[in-house]
């Protein structure tokens, strides 16, 4: 844990949010006066975005991204902030009759009702994630940070008793659609898999609450998987079956879509490689600049796979990298909101960019440092914004 994170943890304790090993044990939401717009504080628009840019509203069945300029709290509100993506519509399930079946290589195939899930020790964890396709052109809006409540996947799998050789844990959602595979139309469920070792981590959750409320329909009611630190695609919504098998699972959203195609050095050989979208790459993005009188402030967020963060820095034009402040509330898998007081901003056009460094010394890559990439997944190189100070 970095000093900054320890600091944030301590401050969180003082605010009454008791944190144990990264788990927030209460539903208290830290109030962030730094994020809500103050009186007389106004947003300075980015000149690299259309001036009237807004996303569609959060409606049933649709894709929704938030305008990250309007982040005003540490947790993204369920109603109008946390993004929504799905590929086969939003099935409306009945919580009373819904069951999760655990099948395959287990000693005790079990069927769990929502009441059964609630009998397991409850855990809460703050976790942010973004869609693998999130990008600068939509204000990085396919993102959200929430406090998730549910039980540990591991507790459930232990009761089912995974048999020797059961290495692949496949998660099926209740949503289905037709796919053409090799000229044949077949029905598919949305599904993703985790390797046994990834599934048994302490922080993997079967989540039935989001920000203290029952999981909303759009986010997988009544229950979804949550694999903290991974891109959104791993978090199977409307979860209805967990199947344990001894072969790799290669469904569409595992192995065909959400696959990053890039040209990289594979042990000294340059190869075009296809790689699954899994852990969130180290990323920071500036989301807004505000002005209040003559002072300016830059805000943004950091996402990664849970590796502690050492610093976030901001660079204005050709100036030096300057350290930004990570706002309170940050936990291992939450997003880290940052703020930077831009002193003496001079009138005219400016270019601003942020970069994050983790405790291992990994620095967010510059665009020119990243391998050549063709697919649209995983956008995490340093992002530059332009604006005009009047």
Ligand X SMILES: Nc1nc2c(c(=O)[nH]1)N[C@H]1C(S)=C(S)[C@@H](COP(=O)(O)O)O[C@H]1N2
User: Which stretch, 21-29, 221-229, 233-241, 285-293, contacts Mo ion (CB under 5 A)?
Assistant: 233-241
Provide, rounded to whole angstroms, the least separation between the CB of residue 142 and ligand X.
Answer: 7
For residues 214 and 222, is the Cβ–Cβ distance under 8 A? yes
User: Which stretch, 48-56, 77-85, 88-96, 261-269, contacts Mo ion (CB under 5 A)?
Assistant: 77-85
Give bridge partners of residue 373 from the DSSP assignment.
262
Per partner kind, with CB cut-offs from 5 to 8 A, the member of ligand X, Mo ion, none near residue 193 is: none
Q: Per CB under 5 A, does 232 bind Mo ion?
A: yes
Among 74, 83, 301, 340, binds ligand X (CB under 6 A): 83
Provide, rounded to whole angstroms, the least separation between the CB of residue 322 and Mo ion.
Answer: 33
Per rule CB under 6 A, count of chain residues that contact ligand X: 19
Provide, rounded to whole angstroms, the least separation between the CB of residue 28 and ligand X.
Answer: 22
Per partner kind, with CB cut-offs from 5 to 8 A, the member of Mo ion, ligand X, none near residue 190 is: ligand X
Per rule CB under 5 A, count of chain residues that contact Mo ion: 4
Provide, rounded to whole angstroms, the least separation between the CB of residue 274 and ligand X.
Answer: 17
183-242: which residues touch ligand X (CB under 6 A)? 190, 219, 232-233, 235-238
- Answer whether the bond into residue 209 is a cis peptide, omega within 30°: no
Report the Cα–Cα distance between both ends of the chain, in Å, rounded: 41
Q: Per CB under 6 A, does 85 bind ligand X?
A: yes
Cβ proximity to ligand X: between 84 and 194 the closer is 84
Give residues in contact with ligand X (CB under 6 A). Answer: 82-88, 131, 144, 173, 175, 190, 219, 232-233, 235-238
Give residues in contact with Mo ion (CB under 5 A). Answer: 85, 131, 232-233
């Amino acid at each position: 844990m970095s000093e900054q994170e320890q600091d944030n943890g301590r401050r969180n304790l003082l605010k009454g949010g008791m944190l144990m090993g990264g788990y927030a044990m209460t539903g208290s939401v830290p109030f962030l006066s730094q994020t809500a717009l103050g009186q007389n504080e106004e947003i300075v628009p980015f000149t690299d975005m259309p001036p009237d840019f807004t996303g569609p509203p959060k409606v049933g069945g649709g894709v929704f991204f938030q305008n990250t300029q309007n982040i005003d709290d540490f947790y993204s509100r369920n109603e109008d902030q946390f993004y929504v993506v799905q590929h086969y519509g939003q099935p409306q399930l009945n919580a009373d009759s819904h069951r999760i079946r655990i099948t395959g290589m287990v000693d005790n195939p079990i069927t769990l009702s929502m009441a059964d899930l609630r009998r397991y020790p409850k855990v809460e964890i703050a976790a942010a994630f973004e869609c693998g396709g999130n990008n600068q052109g939509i204000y990085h809006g396919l993102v959200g940070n929430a406090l998730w409540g549910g039980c540990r996947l591991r507790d459930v799998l232990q009761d089912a008793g995974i048999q020797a050789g059961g290495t692949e844990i496949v998660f099926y959602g209740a949503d289905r659609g037709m796919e053409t595979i090799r000229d044949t139309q077949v029905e598919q469920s949305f599904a993703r898999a985790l390797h046994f070792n990834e599934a048994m981590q302490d922080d993997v959750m079967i989540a039935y609450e989001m920000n203290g409320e029952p999981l909303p329909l759009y986010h997988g009611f009544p229950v979804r998987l949550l694999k903290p630190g991974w891109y959104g695609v791993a978090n199977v919504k409307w979860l209805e079956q967990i199947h344990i098998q001894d072969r790799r699972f290669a469904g569409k959203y595992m192995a065909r879509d959400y696959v990053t195609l890039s040209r990289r050095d594979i042990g000294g050989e340059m190869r075009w490689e296809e790689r699954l979208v899994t852990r969130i790459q180290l990323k920071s993005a500036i989301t807004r600049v505000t002005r209040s009188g003559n002072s300016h402030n830059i805000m943004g967020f950091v996402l990664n796979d849970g590796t502690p963060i050492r610093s976030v820095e901001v660079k204005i034009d050709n100036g030096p990298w300057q350290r930004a402040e990570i706002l309170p509330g940050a936990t291992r898998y939450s997003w880290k909101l940052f703020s930077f007081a831009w002193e003496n901003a001079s009138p005219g056009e400016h270019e601003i960019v942020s970069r994050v460094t983790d405790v291992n010394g990994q620095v967010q890559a510059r665009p020119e440092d990243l391998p050549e990439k063709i697919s649209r997944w995983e956008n995490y190189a340093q992002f530059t914004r332009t604006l005009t100070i009047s």
